[in-house]
Amino acid sequence: MTSIKLLDAPEYTAEERQALVDFVLALKKTHIQDFLQRVELPKSGTKPDLRERLQEALDEGRLAYERVVEFLDSVVPWGKQHVFLYTGPRDDVRS
């Protein structure tokens, strides 16, 4: 029997975590409400209410940032996707 090693969840910086929340809240309200329903959070209210609810669930660990990334991957067309979550060199890359 072959065992499969699962990768650890990535460690997101505070800036990356904030960017993910911002990307979700930049979507149409119907998409935001769909996501909240998928993760079993109340979906009614204004966008500021939805932001607060989403952020609270993330801060309390009831929702993982990986779920946010999966959702964004599913609703944002590849040609329009602008979620960059990687750390690169601070200096120019030289060949």
Residue 81: C-alpha distances to residues 13, 75, 77 (Å): 20, 9, 6
Question: Is 4 a member of any domain?
Answer: no
Question: Is 1 a member of any domain?
Answer: no
Q: Which residue has the higher pLDDT, 11 or 62?
A: 62
pLDDT of residue 73: 84
Average pLDDT over residues 6-34: 84
Question: Is 32 a member of any domain?
Answer: yes
Q: 25: buried, middle or exposed (CB in 10 Å: 19+, 13-18, 0-12)?
A: middle
* Cβ contact 28:35 at 8 Å: no
Question: Is 30 a member of any domain?
Answer: yes
Question: Is 7 a member of any domain?
Answer: no
Residue-averaged pLDDT of the chain: 81
- Boundaries of domain holding 36: 14-79
Number of domains in the chain: 1
* Cβ contact 75:27 at 8 Å: yes
Question: Is 90 a member of any domain?
Answer: no
Taking residue 93's Cβ as centre, other Cβ atoms within 10 Å add up to 6
Question: Is 94 a member of any domain?
Answer: no
* Cβ contact 23:83 at 8 Å: yes
